[in-house]
A and B are shown apart, each in its own frame.
Chain A
Amino acid sequence: MNGELIVFLILAILAISSALLVIVLKRIAHRVLSMTFTFFAVAGIYFLLRAEFIGIVQIMVYVGALSILFLFGMMMTDHKLASYTPGRSLAHQLASFVGVLTLLYLMLRGIFSLNVPSSQDISIGTADRIGIELYSNYVVAFEGAGILLLAALIGAIVLARKEAD
């Protein structure tokens, strides 16, 4: 039991339990808050993997922006619980549960039978290494991502404004 493993286990338990709370909790606001905790724990996992830049981006985009976006989406629509109380039919839930559990079992079996050698030199994901890679090999994809964000911005405004209907 070294320190890294202990930190990993704490973060993993935090992530999995708050992801389960997203499914289990009753109120929508509590579920969105629990989603934020999951994203925080995943950012901790990134820091543990020495992906510093991705961890910071995760905190900025997911914890900072997406949670607020989801909270606004929840506030501007139907967040009363009354119309959702009887969930899906029991057969539907049972079938989904069994299917997902089978998928999880197969994936975990495949993962733990895997024998991946870990590399000895840990590559540290600093911002300048990612930036050099992004602006040399992936510059076309980077511009494409910019166009995608612009299209999403305009599309979201057009869809959500009042005159649209």
Chain B
Amino acid sequence: MVPITLYLALAAVLFCIGLYGVLTRRHLVIVLVSVELMLNAVNINLVAFSSIGPFANITGQVFSLFVITVAAAEAAVGLAILIALYRNRKSIDVIKQDLMRW
């Protein structure tokens, strides 16, 4: 049986890869992909504690369903914003979106 610490370590590694992607990539689609990676890491934690945690309970899986719902809504709205941004500014480079920067 796999100990729960290994699942938590995998989730931590995935979360850090996603965080690095958000911080350094310039393409807006890749930034959204990295956000999805981070949300997946959270889901791994929830499901791991829900299945083999000290108080194994189905509640964690219900919460991860809600996280998946919110992630899907976030991706849809994010991509709609991205398309509107591209139509208005002809670029989805993150560091060129400096209209409100001083």
Q: Is the CB of B84 within 8 A of A164?
A: yes
Are A160 and B9 in contact, CB atoms less than 8 angstroms apart?
Answer: no
Q: Is A153 a contact of B76 with CB atoms below 8 Å?
A: yes
**In angstroms, how far is the closest chain A Cβ from the Cβ of B3?**
7
Chain B interface, >50% SS class:
helix
Q: How many A-B residue pairs have CB under 8 A?
A: 241
| B92 and A118 contact, CB distance less than 8 A | no
Interface size bracket, A side:
35 or more
Contact with B along A59-87 (1 / 0, CB 8 A): 00110011001101110111000011001
Interface residue from B10, B56, B74, B92 paired with A45 (Cβ < 8 Å): B10
Tell me the bound Cα distance from A145 to B56 in angstroms: 24
Q: Given A22-B33, A130-B65, are A78 and B47 neighbors across the interface (CB < 8 Å)?
A: no
List of B residues within 8 angstroms of A84 by Cβ: 26-27, 93
Taking a contact as CB atoms under 8 Å apart, the answer to whether A155 and B77 are in contact is yes
CA separation between A23 and B24, bound complex, in Å? 9
12 additional A-B residue pairs with CB within 8 Å, beyond A23-B34, A125-B58, A156-B76: A15-B14, A20-B17, A42-B40, A61-B72, A65-B72, A87-B24, A87-B26, A92-B24, A101-B16, A122-B52, A152-B73, A165-B84
Q: Are A116 and B54 in contact (CB under 8 A)?
A: yes
Interface magnitude class on chain B: 35 or more
Give 4 nearest A-B pairs by CB, closest first: A152-B73, A159-B80, A156-B80, A73-B79
0 or 1 for each of A17-40: is its CB under 8 Å from B? (1 = yes): 001101100001001100100110
Whether the Cβ atoms of A23 and B84 lie closer than 8 Å is no
A-B contact pairs, 18 of them (CB 8 A): A19-B37, A50-B51, A61-B68, A66-B36, A70-B75, A74-B29, A76-B83, A77-B29, A101-B16, A111-B12, A112-B5, A116-B53, A123-B56, A125-B51, A145-B69, A160-B84, A165-B84, A165-B88
Known contacts: A119-B56, A152-B77, A156-B77. The answer to whether A96 contacts B20 by CB under 8 A is: yes
B72 in contact with A4 (CB, 8 Å) = no
On whether the beta carbons of A114 and B69 are closer than 8 Å, the reply is no
